[in-house]
Chain A
Amino acid sequence: MITAELRRHISLKNISHQNRIGYFFMLPPLLFMLVILGFPILYTFIISFQDVNLRTLISGERPFVGIENYKIVLTSGAFHGALSRSLLFTVGSISLQFSIGLVFALLFRKQFWGANVLRGLVLSGWLIPAVVVGTLFVWLFNLDFGLINFALIMLGLIDNPVGWLVDPQIALFSVTLANIWYGIPFNVIVLSAGLAGLPEGVYEAATVDGANGFQRFRHITLPLMRQSILAVLMLGLIYTLRSFGLIWTITRGGPSGATEVIPTLAYRVGFEFFRFSEAAVIAVFMVLLLLTVAIFYVRATKEEMA
């Protein structure tokens, strides 16, 4: 006859055994993350304290220089310029991506002619690679043959073609527009999922109480969607800050550095000027910046779930 204590002992033993199996199954992804993610980050961190350029890379001698690279990068005008452009690009992108994404998410909640087809087509933008979107916008923004200049002239809004990508004054604006276009489907997907989970009863109660559409949106939809909104803004912040492919395809950071953001600067310093240590410093800065946002996001979602 099995006593209660023995039964308890057996079940505890089973749990610890299951735990061990659980840890065993966790090993492959853990190893994968350590090798594929952990090692490059650690290596970048190490070379940010060494003098690694094309000469020392070949010779193998990498003198330790302390925080010299950090001093050079953090006091350089190029870095400060890229940082401010990154922030402008990110704030501009996220605010409009979110606003337009929310309009689309609210729109596709309604049933109207062609709604399903249009929803599918809008979401298909998310499937296009950044390089393809970049190439598409290079055509659209073309000075002589671009669709945007053609449409604006036809509508009588401008007299002469605008140099969307060749004028340093507006190149960052043009690239931001392209990024807004690219990021909208992601916002629609996350916000639509958030909208789908809202209880219908609350809306019915509010309608009975005499709330109009805007009041329902302001006092029911927005507060209940707090978690989705937080998720989409934080993930958008991370995706936009590390955005490289789109800008590189459209302008390569030009003209005359007008669209140079932190990721393109890191690439240029590393693989065009071959100053690997300084590129590593910029990369470390990016990692710390994104890590801060990620920690904030994880903590915020944890609080929401609790």
Chain B
Amino acid sequence: MAINWFKYSAPTTFYPLAGKLIPWFAVSSAILFAIGLYIGFVVAPADATQGEFYRIIFIHVPSSIISMLLYMVMAGYAALGLIFNTRLSSMMASAIAPTGALFAFISLWTGALWGKPMWGAWWVWDARLTSELILLFLYLGFISLHASIDDPRRADRASALLAIVGSVNVPIIYFSVKWWNTLHQGSTIKYSGTSMHVAMQQAMFTMLAACWLYAIVIALTRVRSIILDREKNTKWINELDEVRS
């Protein structure tokens, strides 16, 4: 049976669907966090050179990947909203931005925590670190620009442009360790294979999935509030059970 996905691009159909999906994603995320932490701290062995400090990797790498991924998803939604003038796309972009900013912050914070024992410094103006900091500023710029314009449709268009232009920073972050001679290490996991212990890989990918599901839960919950707020004068909102009760 074919599913008509375009049906869910309207707030009227997406709102109840998101409400049904949130509990499933939330429970899955919590379970994966528990499994990831267990493997990361109990099963995975200590690193030969970094000892116990390397265990920051299980939150640092997933939050860095999610911060970049969320930016691309946000820019994609913003572009869809700008090109096709679809209301839900712009709402999704607005809902994703704060979570993306938090993941960028966690990435920088945990990176600093890892940098101190390994490099002897909380921060260096390295290409990878600096480009990730720019990503955080881009998120904050998107949020601030959107909040500074009263008309939500105009705010959507203006912030969409910033999101699209800023997306050039994501490949810069990813390739920074290849393009420049950085203090930050290169990719440990490559297409050609990895030297990581299998338990370390399991913990990292489990935490990555947990963070991704967490981001989906928060974005869906936030977009439901945005839909409620923006569509509050419509008939379908006033007929919702949660509004009538």
Partners in one complex: no
Interface, chain B (partner A; CB < 8 A):
none
